[in-house]
Structure 1
Amino acid sequence: MKLLKPIPKKPKARIKLDKGSASKQRQYNQKFKVLSEAIPYVELYNGQVVVIAIEDSIIANNDQLKLFAEDVVLLKRAGINPIIVHNAEHGLKNFFERMKITYETHNGQIIVNKRNIELVEMVCSASVNKAIVTAINDAEGMAIGISGKDGKLIEAKKSKIISRNKNNVDQIVDNTYAGDPIMINPSILAPFEESEIIPVISPIGYNEAVQAIYLESISIASCIASSIAASKLIVMSNHNLFIDEEGKVIEEMASNEAVKYIEKFDTHLARKLQMAISTVDYFSETVHFVNSNIMHGLVFEILSDERPGTLVFSTVAEL
């Protein structure tokens, strides 16, 4: 019996490209990979609201501000609705020092009182806020600056700071014009979801008892994200907050793990981060902590598989 030999397989046809075309093909392949990753996320978050809290140290760096503005405009064009909230600590300190105005601090934060509240409000809304709005508009977006006092967007309460003096005696710090947000008027923000305009919110709240209340960006962003059930809350700072023992960024954490992790931070920072993390357990889907030094880190955090920051997810749903 004659054994049949297997029919040899024909080699697959290969397209030969010259060096120039081969180089372009590699570029196309890379771009295809990026698009294939991004499009599902664009579809997933289309029409969703993302609240972004940024430190104004980003604004002091022209390159970082430009990249941030480009990222925000790209997200808006992708159908995602960003709401930006900023602080003004860096801008305030620079202004006071440049104008040779004395000021006091507590835990690194400027004490805001009757003597300087008008200047604080001016720097927040007319200087820092305007810089962000201008950068977004220069990136071919449409942004508008809003104070928390406009339309009573942010109702705030005064906070008391108890500090221990040199004699080890507790005393109340005169910080009567700084505090925390207690209520958001979502009707002011709702129209922006149906428009091309990106709102940039200044950290000033209203209070019937005083002229204005100076607020922190993370507390405002957390309050807004909770009140409108935003899809994501993103906290941008100029360093990585969550790193492991090897110095690598922790990509994902459960909210209960994140709360334990921040216990090692100073009280002031831990309190702010606690507010952000709490939103994910009851209102927002996820909270992200992103290093602003990473080029286009904001876009990659939302629209790619390889996130440069730390994502915190809820553990409440698992109970």
Structure 2
Amino acid sequence: MTDTASQAQFTAKTLSEALPYIQRYAGQTIVVKYGGHAMVDPSLSAGFARDVVLLKALGIHPVVVHGGGPQIGNLLEKLGIRSEFKGGLRVTDEETMEVVEMVLSGPINKSIVRAINQAGGKAVGLSGSDGNLIRAEKATKTSKDPDSHIEQVLDLGFVGEPSAVDTTVLLAMLRADANLIPVVAPVGVGADGARYNINADTAAGALAAALGASRLLLLTDVAGVLDKEKKLMREIPVADIPGLIADGTAAGGMIPKLETAAHSVNHGVGAAVILDGRAPHALLLELFTEHGAGTLVS
């Protein structure tokens, strides 16, 4: 058998083996948080766009929620605006919020839309402000002082948490006859009209819960959740998450990911997966293969 014929045979076998998983997710909503290295590597971003279009072609309804931390950080640095993180979240004053909304709802959102459309899809960009999609309130976070062990309240400025989700716009876009792929920037609006910077993982989890998604997929820049020996944890029960945060196994940006995963599963999402966005076709590996990819929160 020639190399070409052998490759064709392998491709056909792979598609056949994926059939049960395709049938499982057909007609289901999958919310994907897209960020990290996968967004800035041209080959990975092009592959991600093709994979999202493939999901739609298979009768699955993907909703993409994107971050943009590195791009926001780069522009803040160019503008000479100091930025800091507390508890894995960016402190956002009014000046920083201007940059956050401009970057997230502008060039990042539209570059993802263009990539999906270039791959043959019909993507539409929007933010949490559109159609009152994500109502937000000021985030209240606490942190324990490592020396005194006293809980301290963190003032994160215009960092928000979803307080309500209106899925009207998304449901209209997800109708079978519309054939649209929503791409959402995580900027919410408060009851007083103030804009809030929402962590993209948190926003994705809120949308997944409101939509009753079958899966929430959180793309990150590590293989998944690692234990103390730096080995991948394949599955984590929701009940174990507070302990992993308390003992430092999960730290920094992994904390909001695990909190989001737990919240979404507790509010009706089938399962949440934290997976390596640096791996080509990570979405397809997770959804259409036996062992998946990353850490499953169930």
Sort the TM-score into its range (normalised by shorter chain). 0.7 to 0.9
Q: How many residues align?
A: 292
Q: 1:198 aligns with which of 181, 191, 201?
A: 181
Range with bigger deviation, 105-114 or 185-194: 105-114
Partner of 1:189, secondary structure, is helix
Distance 1:30 1:221 in 2: 35
Match of residue 103, structure 2, among 110, 119, 123:
123
Mapped partners of 1:109, 1:244: distance in 2: 22
One of 50, 58, 61 as aligned partner of 2:38? 58
Matched residue, 2:93: 113
Match of 1:212 in 2: 195
Looking at CA atoms only, which structure, 1 or 2, has the larger radius of gyration? 1
After superposition, the C-alpha distances for 1:31-80 in whole angstroms (9 at most, x for unaligned) are 23211221221122111100111224432222221111111111111111
Does the aligned pair in 2 maintain the 1:56–1:86 contact within 8 Å?
Answer: no
The question of 1:309 aligning with 2:294 is answered: yes
User: What amino acid does structure 2 have at the position aligned with 1:204?
Assistant: V
Q: Give the drift of 1:268.
A: 5.8
1:293: which partner in 2?
Answer: 278
Residue 78 (structure 2) aligned to one of 91, 98, 109: 98
| Deviating more after overlay: 53-62 vs 135-144 | 53-62
Checking the alignment, whether the CA contact within 8 Å between 2:29 and 2:60 is kept in structure 1 is yes
Matched-pair contact (CA < 8 Å) for 1:258–1:312: no
Does structure 2 conserve the Cα–Cα contact (< 8 Å) formed by 1:159 and 1:178? yes
Q: Which amino acid aligns with 2:174?
A: E
Q: Distance in 2 between matches of 1:170 and 1:136?
A: 44
Determine if the alignment matches structure 1 residue 284 to structure 2 residue 264: no
Matches within 5 A, 1:1-319: 21-107=1-87, 109-161=89-141, 175-194=156-175, 195-243=178-226, 248-258=231-241, 260-263=243-246, 264-266=249-251, 269-313=254-298
Quote the RMSD (CA, aligned, Å): 2.7
Contact 1:53/1:235 (<8 A) preserved: yes
Q: Distance in 2 between matches of 1:191 and 1:178?
A: 28
* Residues in 2 aligned to 1:51 and 1:128: alpha-carbon distance in whole angstroms: 18
Other structure's SS at 2:194 match: strand
Check 1:242–1:163 CA distance in 2 against 1; reply closer, same or farther (3 A cut).
closer
Query: Shift of the alpha carbon at 1:259?
Result: 5.0
**CA 1:164–1:43: 2 relative to 1, 3 Å:** closer
SS state of the match for residue 301, structure 1? Answer: helix
What residue identity is the alignment partner of 2:215? K
For 1:189 and 1:207, the matched residues in 2 are separated by 19
Any gaps of 5 or more consecutive residues in structure 2?
A: none
Q: Given the superposition, is the C-alpha separation of residues 104 and 275 from structure 1 closer, same or farther in structure 2, using an over 3 Å criterion? A: closer
- Give how far 1:137 is off: 1.5
Counterpart secondary structure, 1:225: helix
Identity rate, percent: 30
Are the aligned partners of 1:160 and 1:176 in contact in 2 as well (CA < 8 Å)? no
Q: Distance in 2 between matches of 1:142 and 1:111?
A: 34
Aligned-partner SS, 1:115: helix
Shift of 1:267: 6.3
Shift of 1:183: 0.7
